Amino acid sequence: MSEISGMPPAAVIQARVSTALALPSRLRHTALLLVATAMAGVTGALALTEPGLPLRTRLALGALAVGGVAWAMFAGWVLARREVLFGRHRLIAGWMAVGFSAVLTMTSAVAAWMDRRTTMWLPATGVGVVMLILAAVLLHRAHGDVRALRTRRDALRAALETHEVAS
Amino acid sequence: MPDPTIPAHEPLADELLVVRCLLGEAAAFDELVAHWHEPLWRYLRRLLDEDEAAADAVQDCWLRVLRSLPRLRDPARLRPWLFGIARRTAMDRLRAEYRAPVEADIDPETLMADPQDDLREDQLAAMHAQLQRLPLVEREVLELFYLRGLSLAQLVDVLAVPLGTVKSRLFRARGMLRAHLLAEDLSS
């Protein structure tokens, strides 16, 4: 594209778009969403279900849960509005979510099995299971959407090749 | 009247580009910018009437495109969708600048049928120079219809007004442009 007076070069826009699409920055908020959700879920469940906690401990856990919810909402908003995830980003984010939730669930379950004197690990295990199910659903949907897009891409390429041959 | 320079297969190519972007192919975003950056900048330059404002607006516009792309329901409609975003970007800037609505109400008396009279080649060439002298609403509709090749139906989407209003704006804009061209002919 030739340079036009006053117009920012396309290369500048392309560089900005590439930076905006850089994987680490886009997945940073996915990681924040996962960690914040887990933190909110675990601390919230403990505050609500664990018997015999002193009031100040319960309040501290509740405050941590509220903080986790706030961070999760912020990360969700960024991912929905500012750093939207495209096909391959959604697949990677989906696998990240599945992996993180699986680790959380297994760690909590092992801790619950090893420390049978208390039930404090059970809510964390429950939160992990719920997160794992949600992550699996999101990953399944991402795979379906990407498969549909690839099919459409291949069909369009074939249609354009046919058009070029015909003309 | 669609631009005859637009190949018939362009909607397919546009859709392919969008689908590749939705898949997250980095090269597709480069191609999208390479293909549409200049038309969008020219449109914004025409609306904002200033290089610096158009340069800021086109960068803002591309950010909006990037963020909104997953919500583009029909990838084959890339062209009106892009110009719609560019238009909203320009209107937001103008509103912020003037703190007042920039759209003038259409006088019902001016609503008339499109006479379907085509402009001559030399008038189309002169339009580039004369367009800048028209008010924003008329300048915009002529830019999108004649220079960016959008159809009447696509203009309905981009401008968010009924078809009759699009036609009346186009009719009035052509009349104003014709008057400018005639005045220039007489003065020269």
What average pLDDT does range A130-145 have in this prediction? 94
A117, pLDDT greater than 60: yes
Give the Cα separation of B146 and B1 in Å (integer): 8
Q: What is the pLDDT of residues A151-164, one digit of tens each?
A: 999 999 999 888 77
Number of domains in chain A: 1
Token pair of B89, please? 């970007």
Token pair of B39, please? 């038309």
Which residues span the domain enclosing A81?
A: 24-166
Residues in contact with B31: Cβ distance below 8 Å, sequence separation at least 6, in sequence order? B17, B20
Domain contains A127: yes
Domain contains A17: no
Residue whose entry in the numeric block shows the structure tokens 């992550």: A135
Exposure string over B2-34, b if 16+ CB within 10 A, otherwise e: eeeeeeebbbbbbbbbbbbbbbbbbebbbbbbe
What average pLDDT does range A93-103 have in this prediction? 93
What average pLDDT does range A53-80 have in this prediction? 90
DSSP conformation class of B136:
H
Domain contains A37: yes
**For residue B127, what pLDDT is reported?**
65
In terms of Cα–Cα distance, which of B90, B98, B96 is closest to B139?
Answer: B90
Which of B22, B55, B59 has the CB atom closest to A149's CB atom?
B22
Q: Is B153 exposed, middle or buried (0-12, 13-18, 19+ CB in 10 A)?
A: exposed
Min Cα distance B16 → chain A (Å) is 6
Min Cα distance B186 → chain A (Å) is 31
What average pLDDT does range B112-137 have in this prediction? 63
Domain contains A5: no
C-beta atoms of A8 and B59 within 8 A: yes
B76 within 8 A of B14, measured Cβ to Cβ:
yes
| pLDDT, chain A, mean | 87
B119, pLDDT greater than 70: no
Give the Cα separation of A4 and B77 in Å (integer): 27
Domain contains A3: no
- Angstrom CA distances, A160 to A23, B14, B19, B188, stand at 31, 11, 14, 49
Which of A1, A150, A159 has the CB atom closest to B23's CB atom?
A150
**For residue B109, what pLDDT is reported?**
44
C-beta atoms of A160 and B30 within 8 A: no
Residue whose entry in the numeric block shows the structure tokens 């699009």: B166
**For residue A111, what pLDDT is reported?**
82
Which residues 75-94 of chain B have a CB within 8 Å of chain A?
none
Domain contains A86: yes
Q: How confident is the model at residue A40 (pLDDT cuts 50, 70, 90)?
A: very high
Lowest mean pLDDT of A61-75, B74-88, B140-154, name the range.
B140-154
What average pLDDT does range B168-182 have in this prediction? 84
Which of A5, A16, A89 has the CB atom closest to B24's CB atom?
A89
Q: How confident is the model at residue B101 (pLDDT cuts 50, 70, 90)?
A: very low
Q: How confident is the model at residue A20 (pLDDT cuts 50, 70, 90)?
A: confident
Q: What is the pLDDT of residues A101-114, one digit of tens each?
A: 999 899 888 888 88
| Nearest-10 crossing angle of helices B10-23, A87-114 | 20
Count of H-run helices and E-run strands, chain B: 8, 0
**For residue B173, what pLDDT is reported?**
87
C-beta atoms of A14 and B29 within 8 A: yes
Lowest mean pLDDT of A59-73, A89-103, B159-173, name the range.
B159-173
Which structural domains are found in chain B, ordered by start? Answer: 10-98 (1.10.1740.10), 108-187 (1.10.10.10)
Query: What residues of chain A lie within 8 A of the CB of B55, using their CB?
Result: 6-8
Domain contains A67: yes
C-beta atoms of A16 and B59 within 8 A: yes
C-beta atoms of A87 and B24 within 8 A: yes
What average pLDDT does range B97-114 have in this prediction? 47
C-beta atoms of B37 and A10 within 8 A: yes
Domain contains A95: yes
In terms of Cα–Cα distance, which of B94, B69, B93, B67 is closest to B81?
Answer: B69
ipTM value, please give it.
0.78
B3, pLDDT greater than 90: no
Query: What residues of chain A lie within 8 A of the CB of B26, using their CB?
Result: 18, 21
- A21 vs A93, residue with greater confidence: A93
Q: What percent of chain A has pLDDT over 70?
A: 96
Q: How confident is the model at residue B26 (pLDDT cuts 50, 70, 90)?
A: confident
Which of B19, B59, B70 has the CB atom closest to A156's CB atom?
B19
Whether residue B69 lies within 8 A of chain A, CB to CB, comes out as: yes
